[in-house]
């Protein structure tokens, strides 16, 4: 039996390539109150992608697959969404497996970008 290479799960190859340009255009068109424009959105997304590349292999395959799907479904893909999902799921898996809460803060684990993580995304 021959298994085509194209049939491999693309998520196993690393951080997925997302069309953040369309996401940032949509976000900047909303004229959000935090004053984020297209350029600052792109900077946030690219900075967050760099952090994802560093952390990617520390997330379980299940977390990578689930969070990639969540960050890409519904219209506007985002590395910020992918990173936040991955970090929260990773944190939760440590809590569940050890029964205790890791001693970290969100700014330590996320490398805080300019976009406020606690604010809901308005472009979804």
Who wins on pLDDT, 16 or 9? Answer: 16
Which residues have CB under 8 Å from 42's CB, separation 6+?
20, 21, 24
Interhelix angle 20-29/38-55, rounded to 10 degrees, is 140
**Residue ranges per structural domain of the chain:** 37-100
Q: Are 64 and 86 in contact, with CB atoms under 8 Å apart?
A: yes
Which residues have CB under 8 Å from 12's CB, separation 6+?
61
Q: Are 88 and 117 in contact, with CB atoms under 8 Å apart?
A: no
pLDDT band, very low/low/confident/very high, at 36 (cuts 50, 70, 90): confident
Mean pLDDT, residues 28-46 taken together: 81
């Amino acid at each position: 039996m021959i298994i085509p290479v194209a049939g491999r799960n693309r998520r196993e190859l690393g951080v997925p390539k997302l069309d953040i340009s369309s996401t940032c255009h949509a976000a900047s068109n909303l004229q959000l109150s935090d004053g984020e424009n297209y350029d600052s959105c792109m900077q946030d997304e690219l900075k967050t992608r760099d952090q994802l590349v560093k952390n990617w292999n520390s997330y379980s395959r299940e977390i990578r697959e689930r969070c990639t799907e969540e960050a890409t479904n519904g219209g506007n893909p985002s590395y910020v969404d992918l990173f936040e999902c991955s970090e929260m799921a990773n944190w939760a898996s440590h809590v569940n497996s050890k029964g205790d809460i890791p001693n970290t803060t969100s700014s330590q684990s996320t490398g805080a970008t300019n976009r406020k993580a606690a604010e809901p995304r308005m472009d979804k």
